Amino acid sequence: MKVIGINGSARKGGNTSIIIKSIFSELKKSGIETELIELADKSVKGCIGCFCCNGRKQCVVKDDFFNDCFNKMVHADGIILGSPVYSADITSKMKAFLERAGVVVATNPGMLKHKVGASVVPVRRGGGMTAVDTLNHFLLNKEVLVVGSTYWNMVYGKDIGDVINDDEGMRNMKNLGENMAWLMGKLSC
C-alpha cells in the first residue's frame, strides 16, 4: 500500500511538510509506503475548460507538472492533501491542481473511488476551516473515503517549525495517521 502527500505550500520543507511527514511516521509503522510531493517549485496551471480529458484519464495540457502528480494520485491507495492558509483558503497552486484533477475525474468517473484520504492545514490564525473544507470537498466529491481525527485537521504555527509547538495539533496528526493506517488495513482485507 502507498500514500502520497501533496503539499501545496510555496515553501518546501515548511509547516505543511512537517505535518504531512508526522502522519507518514504513523503510516510507516503499519508498513505503508509514503511519498511527499511538494508543489513549491513545480509549474501547475489552472484548468482551461476544454474538457478534452474526457475518456483520456489525464489532462491534455502537458507542459507542466500536473499529469505527473495526478498519475501518482491515481495509482496511490491513499492521498493526503496539505495546504497552508493563504487569504483564508488554500494556496493558488493547490487550487489549480485540484481544479484540473476535479475536471479529469468528473469526466472520467471513479478514478479515485474508494481511496483513503485526509486533508491537513497549518494555520497562523484564521481561515483554517475554509481551507480544510476546500480540501475535503475535493476528496468527498471524488468518492474518496475521508479519514478524521479527534479534532479538525489543523495545526497552528507561522514560522517554519512552529507547528511542532502545537502539542494538541501534532497529537491530532498522529491520531490521523493511525486512523488512516487502520482504515487502509481494513480495506485491504
Tens-place pLDDT, residues 58-78: 999 999 999 999 999 999 999
State the Cα–Cα distance between residues 66 and 102, nearest whole angstrom. 12
Angle at the Cα of 158 from the Cα atoms of 152 and 160, rounded to 5 degrees: 105
- The set of cell numbers assigned to 13 is 520543507
The boundaries of the domain holding residue 86 are: 2-187
Q: Number of structural domains, the chain?
A: 1
Report the CATH number at residue 158.
3.40.50.360
Residue 87 has pLDDT above 80, yes or no: yes
State the Cα–Cα distance between residues 166 and 146, nearest whole angstrom. 23
- What is the reported pTM? 0.96
Residue 173 pLDDT grade (very low, low, confident, very high; cuts 50, 70, 90): very high
Q: What percent of the chain has pLDDT over 90?
A: 96
Residue 189 pLDDT grade (very low, low, confident, very high; cuts 50, 70, 90): confident
Specify burial of residue 165 (Cβ count, 10 A radius: 0-12, 13-18, 19+): exposed
Q: Compute the mean pLDDT over every residue in the chain, rounded to the nearest whole number.
A: 96
Tens-place pLDDT, residues 115-145: 999 999 999 988 999 999 999 999 999 999 9
Q: What are phi and psi of 144, to 5 degrees?
A: -85, 140
